[in-house]
């Protein structure tokens, strides 16, 4: 199989990140990703695209006209029959035909319906290629990106930093098992030279690490990034212990 074909690489990377690439095909893809910068870059780009859906949404109360517009499109006849009465409540809520539909559902089911609608909007706006639309116009900023995983496992950690930035963001996709008395330590592994410590990583959630210099200077010759479990007391060691997670570090520009 020719993994250099852009359309095939894009397809496999998307399916891998979404979790729909399974079985021997997934294991083979993981093996290739460890040694292929183009594959690692494609996976990192898809991780960045999908990560937007994990951000905490800001809840905004929709205006009355939003509900009226939805109802008019879904139930035009019901809307026409109620145009004489105006909604006076300060807390906007669905009425007429829309409330009748939601009334058939339990509170949890109704929430699921609305969440599904919002998710569909996010997918169309942020990842339009997955639904057959044109690609999004916004390009990823010039960055250094690393995707770390254990052997034959899905990605566990994504690290990224803007090319001329001094802040590195670490997003833990799957919690890191850190024994008591240990800490997860992120290392940069240059193509030629000894690994050096980047910082300590939280075993879950997101960590931001202040860099001593611009990413361009620190990661220009770095080919891989990795995480080891070091003793929590005292300074970081000069050399790492065994890596528990690792992956390619690629330039996104």
Distance (Å, whole) CA 99 – CA 67: 10
Q: What letters, b where the CB count within 10 A reaches 16 and e where it falls short, cover 95-121?
A: bbbbeeebeeeeeeeeeeeeeeeeeee
Would you say residue 20 lies in a domain? yes
Phi-psi region of 59 (alpha: psi -120 to 50; beta: other; left: phi over 0): beta
Would you say residue 45 lies in a domain? yes
Would you say residue 192 lies in a domain? yes
Angle, CA of 172, 174 and 180, to the nearest 5°: 85
Name, of 79-83, 111-115, 214-218, the range with top average pLDDT: 214-218
CB contact at 8 A, 172 and 204: yes
Confidence at 57, pLDDT banded by 50, 70, 90? low
Would you say residue 197 lies in a domain? yes
Would you say residue 119 lies in a domain? no
Q: What average pLDDT score do residues 154-180 get? A: 92
Q: What average pLDDT score do residues 123-146 get? A: 56
Counted domains in the chain: 1
Least reliable range by pLDDT among 77-86, 151-160, 219-228: 77-86
> What is the pTM for the complete model shown?
0.52
Q: Which CATH number is 167's domain given?
A: 2.60.40
Which residues constitute the domain of residue 196?
7-53+141-252
Q: What average pLDDT score do residues 150-179 get? A: 90
Would you say residue 108 lies in a domain? no
Would you say residue 161 lies in a domain? yes
Q: Give the model's pLDDT for residue 205.
A: 92
Listed in sequence order, the DSSP H helices in the chain are: 6-18, 23-35, 37-51, 64-74, 76-81, 96-103, 107-126, 215-219
Alpha-carbon Rg for the chain, nearest whole angstrom, is 24
Q: Is 99 helix (H, G, I), strand (E, B) or coil?
A: helix
Q: Which of 129, 148, 125 is nearest to 44 (CA)?
A: 148
**pLDDT tens-digit profile of 70-90?**
666 666 665 566 665 555 555
Would you say residue 93 lies in a domain? no
Least reliable range by pLDDT among 73-87, 127-141, 154-168: 127-141
Q: Is 249 helix (H, G, I), strand (E, B) or coil?
A: strand
Please provide the DSSP assignment of 196-225 as one string. Answer: EEEEEE-SSEEEEEE-SS-HHHHHTTEEEE
pLDDT reading at 213 higher than 50: yes
Percentage of the chain lying above the pLDDT 90 cut:
32
Q: Give the model's pLDDT for residue 47.
A: 77
């Amino acid at each position: 199989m020719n993994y250099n074909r852009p359309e095939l690489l894009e397809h496999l990377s998307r399916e891998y990140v979404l979790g729909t690439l399974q079985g021997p095909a997934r294991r083979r893809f993981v093996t290739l990703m460890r040694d292929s910068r183009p594959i690692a870059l494609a996976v990192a780009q898809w991780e960045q695209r999908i990560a937007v859906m994990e951000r905490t949404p800001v809840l905004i109360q929709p205006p009355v006209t939003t509900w009226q517009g939805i109802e008019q499109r879904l139930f035009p006849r019901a809307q026409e029959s109620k145009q004489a009465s105006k909604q006076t409540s300060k807390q906007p809520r669905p009425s007429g035909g829309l409330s009748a539909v939601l009334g058939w559902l339990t509170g949890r089911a109704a929430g699921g319906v609305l969440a599904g609608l919002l998710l569909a909007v996010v997918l169309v706006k942020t990842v339009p290629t997955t639904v057959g639309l044109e690609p999004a116009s916004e390009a990823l900023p010039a960055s250094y990106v690393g995707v770390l995983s254990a052997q034959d496992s899905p990605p566990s950690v994504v690290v990224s930093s803007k090319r001329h930035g001094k802040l590195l963001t670490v997003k833990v996709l799957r919690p890191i098992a850190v024994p008591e008395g240990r800490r997860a330590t992120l290392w940069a592994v240059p193509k030629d030279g000894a690994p050096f410590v980047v910082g300590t990583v939280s075993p879950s959630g997101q960590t931001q690490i202040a860099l001593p210099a611009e990413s361009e200077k620190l990661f220009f010759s770095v080919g891989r990034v990795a995480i080891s479990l070091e003793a929590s007391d005292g300074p970081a060691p000069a050399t790492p212990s065994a890596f528990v997670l690792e992956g390619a570090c690629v330039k996104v520009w």
